[in-house]
């Protein structure tokens, strides 16, 4: 190589010193950002990924920014190929001057893994070309085949994750079975958990099928039965919007872990959709959700339970329709049990509903603080619950809690779609007793519909719908139509419309809607006391269930003046379904 003139050498030396100063600054900035400023070591990356080198190479122009590693000299240059060692000055200066003199330099040699390159020969040429503003450089490219490709943006932590992914793929052959599906995660250690999920599923598959199950068979079954439904739920709820730096596989693992923790805490089976919604509401960092959590805490702290407004109309239904198909609004039922005959009557109704809907029964017994959960009477209650469920082929579990009965039912009802309980103490009609009524609190605060059972169950071949055109009455209409259609029951619509409403138009719209649903319907229209008309019609028509909206008035007004709901509950002889 021809020695450069003094002027070219001096310029090259100045360029080298400037590059060294920039390298020092790049190191500092990288540390502040929590990233690495150094090149990745090729041998370690290839070994971690289990990659295999191809014997062939080809000559092509490659993007300089995609060169992220080195064979043997990964500590000599920064990620942007700024020199880190003063001892490299002479070599750097000679190459810089040669490029300036147009002497010509041979192509570099690189290994390619995915979209990233690792330089084998030509470190200084890359360093100088990059400082001169070049975007591409000519290179002999040796292809390295890996099950998990890497990108030019990958950091050392990313390589660790991808090496774990490569081990997972080698163990499961997931990429062969589902070549278009990525199970990338953003946190180390997750692939061991995924492999455990598959192994447990494989074990139980073998027990159910009474034969040896191959890993490939277990992987396909796990993906289709467990992983894919949760991912579809994640997409339907758009959960990635709340966790933008994470992946669908991250969320699958976190939601399933959260589901297991909730099931252990509650003593019930928790559905993936309920776990996903709770995970989102608890852990999302979006400003809107953070503000909502703060507002709920402030609201609960300052406002007495008796004056809380409860959920908005249709809130419970819309939330569940986002989480699951609209053709099933009841997949789990809460049934509180005290051990009295009235509570066993409620359980009989709950079992009937569960059998019709294919729903899960979540039993609950609330004890006084300090009482032993393992007492003989409580154990007998749990045993009786399980025995009745098993006898009639209904899946269910029973939990025991300490605290105020109404409060615990309200807290637990958010995990189910319907609460069925005995109607032993309906809300009193007088003001002061109403203020302390636990049942009134349930009607006001429970986030889901409540079915109040006053006596042993009867056949539900005819459903009475109480309709006054209010938003909660519209919810009652939706629920009544749902059960009538699924159970092949007829509807008796009792309507007492307020004078300020357009009564005739409301009735006509109601009739058109029900005609479209093709449900057998008859109408009873009145203009006087609605509770009396509802009770009288239910008795005359031998209705098996009354469906009506909950409290429409504000808490204070309803507390002082009472409600049609309370008057019906005081005298009903058939179950009353109160909709939110």
Common-topology check for domains 6-152 and 458-580: no
Domain 458-580's class? alpha beta
* Contact yes or no for 453/346 (Cβ under 8 A): yes
Domain 322-457's class? alpha beta
- The count of C-alpha atoms lying within 13 angstroms of the C-alpha of 8, restricted to the half-sphere facing its C-beta, is 15
Tens of pLDDT along 202-260? 999 999 999 999 999 999 999 999 999 999 999 998 999 999 889 999 999 999 999 99
Q: Which helix (H) or strand (E) holds 495?
A: strand 490-496
Q: What is the DSSP string of 411-474?
A: HHHTTSSEEEEE-SSPPPSSHHHHHT-HHHHHHHH-SS-EEEE-SS----SEEEEEE-SSHHHH
- The count of C-alpha atoms lying within 13 angstroms of the C-alpha of 449, restricted to the half-sphere facing its C-beta, is 27
Instruction: Looking at mean pLDDT, say which of 76-80, 127-131, 249-253, 514-518 comes out highest.
Output: 249-253
pLDDT at 383: 95
Tens of pLDDT along 162-212? 999 999 999 999 999 999 999 999 988 999 999 999 999 999 999 999 999
pLDDT at 102: 47
Question: For the structural domain made of 6-152, what CATH number should be given?
Answer: 3.90.1530.10
Across residues 522-526, what is the average pLDDT?
90
pLDDT at 303: 54
pLDDT at 314: 66
* Contact yes or no for 541/419 (Cβ under 8 A): no
Tens of pLDDT along 17-43? 888 888 888 888 877 777 788 899 999
pLDDT at 322: 63
Length of the chain, please? 580
Q: How far is CA 454 from the centre of its chain?
A: 37
Tens of pLDDT along 495-519? 986 654 566 788 888 999 998 898 9
Q: Poorest-confidence range of 16-20, 95-99, 217-221, 546-550?
A: 95-99
Q: How far apart are CA 69 and CA 116, in angstroms?
A: 8
The token pair that represents 173 in the structure block: 């052959």
Question: What confidence category does residue 157 fall into, taking pLDDT thresholds of 50, 70 and 90?
Answer: confident
What residue spans define the domains of the chain? Answer: 6-152, 173-283, 322-457, 458-580
- Beta-carbon contacts of 16 under 8 Å, excluding residues fewer than 6 positions away, are 83, 89, 92, 93, 96
Across residues 474-503, what is the average pLDDT?
86
- Phi-psi bin for 225: left (phi > 0), alpha (psi -120 to 50), beta? alpha
User: What letters, b where the CB count within 10 A reaches 16 and e where it falls short, cover 489-522?
Assistant: bebbbbbbbeeeeebeebbeebeeebeeeebebe
pLDDT at position 420 over 50: yes
pLDDT at position 390 over 60: yes
Tens of pLDDT along 445-471? 898 999 999 988 778 999 999 998 888
CA neighbor of 556 nearest in space, from 311, 307, 310, 313: 307
CA angle 206, 266, 314 (to 5 degrees): 105
pLDDT at 1: 46
Q: How far apart are CA 117 and CA 67, in angstroms?
A: 4
pLDDT at 293: 62
């Amino acid at each position: 190589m021809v020695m450069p003139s003094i002027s070219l050498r001096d310029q090259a030396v100045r360029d080298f010193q400037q590059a060294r100063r920039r390298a020092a600054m790049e190191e500092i900035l990288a540390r502040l950002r929590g990233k690495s400023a150094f090149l990745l070591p090729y041998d370690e990356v290839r070994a971690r990924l289990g990659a295999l080198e191809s014997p062939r190479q080809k000559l092509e122009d490659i993007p300089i920014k995609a060169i992220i590693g080195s064979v043997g000299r990964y500590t000599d240059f920064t990620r942007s190929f700024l020199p880190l060692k003063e001892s490299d000055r002479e070599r750097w200066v000679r190459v810089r001057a040669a490029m300036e003199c147009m002497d010509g330099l041979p192509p570099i040699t690189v290994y390619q893994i995915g979209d990233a390159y690792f330089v084998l020969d030509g470190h200084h040429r890359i360093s100088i070309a990059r400082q001169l503003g070049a975007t591409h450089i000519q290179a002999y490219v040796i292809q390295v085949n890996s099950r998990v490709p890497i990108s030019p943006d990958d950091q050392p932590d990313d390589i660790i994750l991808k090496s774990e992914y490569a081990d997972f793929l080698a163990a499961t052959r997931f990429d062969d079975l589902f070549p278009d599906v990525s199970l990338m995660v953003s946190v180390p250690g997750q692939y061991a958990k995924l492999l455990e999920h598959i192994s447990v599923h494989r074990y139980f598959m073998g027990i159910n099928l009474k034969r040896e199950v191959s890993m490939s068979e277990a992987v396909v079954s796990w993906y289709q039965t467990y992983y894919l439904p949760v991912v579809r739920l994640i997409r339907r709820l758009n959960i990635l919007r709340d966790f933008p730096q994470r992946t669908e596989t991250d969320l699958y693992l976190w939601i399933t872990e959260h589901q297991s923790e909730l099931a252990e805490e509650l003593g019930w089976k928790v559905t993936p959709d309920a776990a996903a919604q709770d995970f989102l509401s608890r852990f999302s960092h979006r400003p809107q959700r953070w503000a909502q959590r703060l507002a709920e805490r402030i609201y609960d702290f300052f406002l007495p339970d008796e004056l809380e407004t409860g959920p908005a109309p249709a809130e419970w239904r819309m939330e569940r329709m986002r989480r699951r198909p609209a053709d099933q609004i009841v997949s789990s039922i809460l049934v509180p049990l005290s051990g009295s005959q009235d509570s066993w009557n409620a359980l009989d109704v709950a079992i009937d509903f569960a059998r019709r809907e294919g729903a899960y029964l979540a039993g609950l017994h609330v004890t006084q603080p300090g009482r032993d959960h393992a007492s003989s009477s409580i154990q007998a209650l749990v045993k009786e619950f399980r025995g009745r469920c098993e006898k009639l082929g209904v899946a269910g579990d029973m939990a025991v809690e300490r605290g105020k009965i109404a409060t615990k039912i309200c807290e637990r009802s958010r995990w189910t779609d319907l609460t069925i309980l005995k109607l032993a103490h309906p809300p009193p009609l007088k003001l002061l007793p109403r203020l302390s009524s636990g049942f009134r609190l349930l009607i006001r605060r429970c986030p889901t519909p409540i079915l109040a059972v006053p006596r042993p169950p009867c056949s539900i071949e005819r459903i009475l719908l109480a309709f006054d055109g209010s938003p909660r009455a519209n919810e009652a209409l939706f629920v009544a139509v749902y059960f009538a259609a699924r159970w092949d029951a007829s509807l008796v619509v009792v309507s007492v419309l307020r004078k300020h409403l357009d009564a005739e138009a409301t009735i006509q719209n109601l009739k058109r809607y029900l005609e479209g649903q093709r449900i057998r319907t008859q109408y009873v229209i009145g203009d006087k006391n609605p509770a009396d008309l509802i009770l009288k019609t239910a008795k005359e028509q031998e209705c098996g269930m009354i469906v009506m909206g909950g409290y429409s008035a504000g808490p204070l007004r309803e507390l002082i003046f009472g409600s049609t709901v309370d008057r019906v509950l005081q005298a009903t002889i058939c179950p009353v379904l109160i909709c939110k």
